[in-house]
Structure 1
């Protein structure tokens, strides 16, 4: 009986916390955006995955990947690594097209717990996986596809994983691009990760699709993208985002909201990479938005001061996302880095 009372008390506290977080103000969808969502849902989802797909296995985990060929003579391979709680389809289609058009094949993959990759249903508190383990997932994909060396591009948490690949597997890393990321998230000399975004993200979940239907979960994707934009301005390509989300929900395993919790734990366990990054000998590009509401740009600026020969792209009107308007500039800068000679 005492145990039941204790459990009920914990549940009451949990619901109170969730209720308070659910009160955080979130952006509203416009009538036009709602009409676009309804229109897309009236048709069959377009084919989003068009490349060669398969699984790599690392430490018992099956990691789903897609290999998208270059449209011209192949110049190299670009490995894309997404951020916390995100799967392979979170990369904007236009972002990928610029590389394919320039002669680079793309490999994107689902992190552990997302998309079609292995899902850890029971979190082992005494044996959580780390960013190093997730970096090994990426290397397992390269091994499976017999790719000796790739250009490593990572966003947010993916940038941290990309850094680890460059550090631990320099022979497999042609170049490194770290987007809106950090070399040490707990660096007390830098502004910390924002504590204002999480309540809004949770509020979006509670309002649009914790147990919701496809329409609600699609709305959540759009609202959360707007939250991550922070103070940046610009339009969201609602049609494309809806089509990709619809495909994910209809033809894949949808969205596992618990994955973000596991990934965040791995981030907090990661520690500093400053010393190792200061010894890199490959071309490195750092990209960051000046209006990033999650990871302050000072984190990338510190990396720029540490990594020898690094170049950077600071984008004034960019938050913690890849804005449609900035994709041409970002991809052009990355492609330029892919052709830089080693320092």
Structure 2
């Protein structure tokens, strides 16, 4: 399904169309899944979403702007690979067509279109950064925050390995088989060596992503938004909502120091470090991760009940 949303950053006539789908009953408590850099919503795998739905959530996954079936933002400010490399290595300025806050506002607008006043928010990688921005700027919309394999924006924390950065910045081939093979290889690198790598499932997802539409220029624009984002440590320290930070200790994209910094910044945040996990969600860890998300949602419900009780007493 598609929803058309206004984009105030560009012009009143510029519209963002977000493609989304859902799992579970519409009457269940809503939970939004925000995917990472260049990744389409299908990388929140159907099985993972279904397990969340079985725990009592109405699960909404969507393609971010500039990914999958959502709007591609044609913009003359799109940075080049060279500019992104210079920014990542030396802190050079890069042009930014939009920010992580713009992407967080997309989620708020989608919530409004779906008539969802509040929701549990779960983000992975760049999606975790967007989820943090959503919690910082729209805390009234967030029941709980789960930030997975993400960062607080501190540029002094450990960065991607040389191998990951080299593959990330390599131009995407246009030929189908070569493009899909490159994607599988990159996903295998992110996955690490501890958990078994599901080649067939990854190949299926890469083929689906290719057929739904790849957006190499969109990846550059999203990456620019990440690089331009400021340190969120101080803003995160002001959050007063149930928070869970999940990370792997073998993450080659955003090393585990990013998780400790994020969890330490947010009062009362719970931290789940998984041994051997890289920068993917191994299916072997789905049950424990979903248990932790559901437990966090329960704590959010308890907190809201206490808050409502205090309001009644006053």
Shift of 1:289: 0.3
Shift of 1:74: 4.1
Q: Report the equivalent of 1:238.
A: 199
Shift of 1:134: 0.6
1:61 aligns with 2:18: no
Q: Report the equivalent of 1:226.
A: 188
Q: Report the equivalent of 1:152.
A: 121
1:102 aligns with 2:55: yes
Shift of 1:226: 0.6
1:117 aligns with 2:42: no
Shift of 1:127: 5.5
* Runs of 5+ consecutive residues of structure 2 not aligned to the other structure: 8-13, 79-94, 305-314
Shift of 1:54: 1.8
The 5 Å alignment of 1:160-309 reads 160-186=129-155, 188=156, 190-202=157-169, 210-213=173-176, 215-230=177-192, 232-250=193-211, 252=212, 254-309=213-268
TM-score in terms of structure 2 length: 0.83
Q: Which secondary structure state, in structure 1, belongs to the residue aligned with residue 303 of structure 2? A: coil
Quick check: 1:94–1:327 contact (8 Å CA) kept in 2?
A: no
Separation (CA, whole Å) in 2 of partners of 1:156 and 1:66: 19
Separation (CA, whole Å) in 2 of partners of 1:265 and 1:201: 13
TM-score in terms of structure 1 length: 0.76
Shift of 1:62: 2.2
Q: Report the equivalent of 1:133.
A: 102
Shift of 1:58: 2.9
Separation (CA, whole Å) in 2 of partners of 1:202 and 1:274: 27
164-173 or 220-229, larger mean C-alpha shift:
220-229
Q: Which secondary structure state, in structure 2, belongs to the residue aligned with residue 124 of structure 1? A: coil
1:268-316 deviation digits (Å, cap 9, x = unpaired): 1110111111111110000000000011111111122221111111000
Quick check: 2:2–2:18 contact (8 Å CA) kept in 1?
A: yes
Quick check: 1:283–1:337 contact (8 Å CA) kept in 2?
A: yes
1:136-155 deviation digits (Å, cap 9, x = unpaired): 11111101111100101001
Q: Report the equivalent of 2:285.
A: 326
Quick check: 2:96–2:228 contact (8 Å CA) kept in 1?
A: no
Q: Report the equivalent of 1:342.
A: 303
Quick check: 2:191–2:197 contact (8 Å CA) kept in 1?
A: no
Q: Which secondary structure state, in structure 2, belongs to the residue aligned with residue 338 of structure 1? A: helix
Separation (CA, whole Å) in 1 of partners of 2:53 and 2:125: 23
Separation (CA, whole Å) in 2 of partners of 1:165 and 1:84: 17
Q: Which has the larger radius of gyration?
A: 1
Separation (CA, whole Å) in 1 of partners of 2:250 and 2:96: 36
Q: Report the equivalent of 1:310.
A: 269
Separation (CA, whole Å) in 1 of partners of 2:15 and 2:189: 32
1:67-112 deviation digits (Å, cap 9, x = unpaired): 31315x8431111111111121121222111111112111111112
Separation (CA, whole Å) in 1 of partners of 2:77 and 2:168: 25
* Runs of 5+ consecutive residues of structure 1 not aligned to the other structure: 1-52
Quick check: 2:248–2:256 contact (8 Å CA) kept in 1?
A: yes
Superposed CA RMSD: 2.0
Quick check: 2:247–2:272 contact (8 Å CA) kept in 1?
A: yes
Closer, same or farther in 2 for the Cα pair 1:222/1:127, shift >3 Å?
closer
